[in-house]
Structure 1
Amino acid sequence: MKKKEWYILKIINGEEKYIINKIKEKLLKYIKYIFIPTKKYIRVKNGKKKIYKEKIIPGYMFIKIYLNKYILLILKKIKGILGFLNERNNKLPLKINKNELKNIIKNKYNNSYKIGDNVIINSGIFNNIKGKIEKIKKNNIILSIKLLGRNTKIELNINNINKY
């Protein structure tokens, strides 16, 4: 068997578990990895912390697989799979290398928030307070919030905010 390569599948958002199960059921010996990039965040409600996952790139799934025309046909027949990124007529889709994969995920994760975005704090003493992003650091964000009638800047971890 040839080397397994990375590809990006276009899928129907919300069908991820079904698609992963079907791929594993039909093609287990041909795949090495399947994943959907997500980030975790914590939300506090009524004093209880709950961890949520959010898809970084909704509608796409990353798969490391040995791919030929036969396997391509099997994948395309699975309900919820729309096709491949870099798909070409009557040919195998273009593979992506590991560095491209890392860059796609890194750039999408880092660009999920931008300066000026309105967000809501989801934990801690400022829970449910709305603010505006002033500055973005590696894993932290500086927000401007209204506190006692004044604009106040606070620094929070990126996991402690959500867009609204």
Structure 2
Amino acid sequence: MADEARWYVVHTYSGYENKVASNLEKTVENRQLQDLIQEIRVPTEKVLEVGTDGKRKEVERKTFPGYVIVKMIMTDESWYAVRNIRGCTGFVGPSSKPVPLTDDEVARLGIEKHEIEVSYKVGDSVNIVDGPLEGFIGTVEELDVEKNRIRVVVSMFGRDTPVELELDQAEPVG
């Protein structure tokens, strides 16, 4: 069995995601399993919806209906605790054998947010260190730390061209 916590995907009845998550949290608390089952998440995203009356409103929608993501150390006890939650149909994996998400999948799904230290601000010159414009130098026009985006104006062929990059694709000049 694993000795370090990994992210696993748990399949639930559709519409039971929040119920399964809260029941699992209660079970973890009651059985003192905090060291084995560390985090329980129902992935959601904020979406702008236009109602029948034409008004826009922001609603939170489940990114993966029917699934709950759990960070846990896989042992017989933790497997049993998750598997026996009402509304849970099992782990995602071949023949219900739990398969942890890879680090790449965790990053792509945005489950774990990695804080990126930004040592530049709007107006600073930055060197592009990754992507098709690697080696170019540009000026920071816009910075959005929450969305991990930066807009840099690069001079190409005698024209200023705005380029969208991720925060870690640029570093300060000097």
Give the alignment's TM-score, normalised by structure 2: 0.51
Q: Which runs of 5+ in 2 are unaligned?
A: 111-174
Q: How does 1:82-101 map to 2 (within 5 A)?
A: 82-88=89-95, 93-101=98-106
Q: How does 1:57-96 map to 2 (within 5 A)?
A: 57-88=64-95, 93-96=98-101
- Residue 77 of structure 1 deviates from its aligned partner by 1.2
Residue 6 of structure 1 is matched in structure 2 by 7
- Residue 36 of structure 1 deviates from its aligned partner by 2.1
CA–CA separation in structure 2 for the residues paired with 1:38 and 1:21? 15
Runs of 4+ aligned structure 1 residues displaced above 6 Å come to: none
Residues 28-48 of structure 1: CA deviation (Å, up to 9, x unaligned): 412222222222112355575
Residue 37 of structure 2 is matched in structure 1 by 31
For the Cα contact (< 8 Å) 2:14–2:66, is it kept in 1? Answer: yes
Could you say what secondary structure the match of 1:21 adopts? helix
- Residue 101 of structure 1 deviates from its aligned partner by 2.5
Could you say what secondary structure the match of 2:100 adopts? coil
State the aligned residue count: 103
Indicate the structure (1 or 2) with the bigger Cα radius of gyration. Answer: 2
Q: 1:41 aligns with which of 17, 24, 47?
A: 47
Q: How does 1:12-161 map to 2 (within 5 A)?
A: 12-28=13-29, 29=34, 30-45=36-51, 46=53, 49-88=56-95, 93-103=98-108, 105=109
Q: Which runs of 5+ in 1 are unaligned?
A: 107-164
Give the alignment's TM-score, normalised by structure 1: 0.53
Residues 44-90 of structure 1: CA deviation (Å, up to 9, x unaligned): 5557543211222211111101221122112111111111111546x
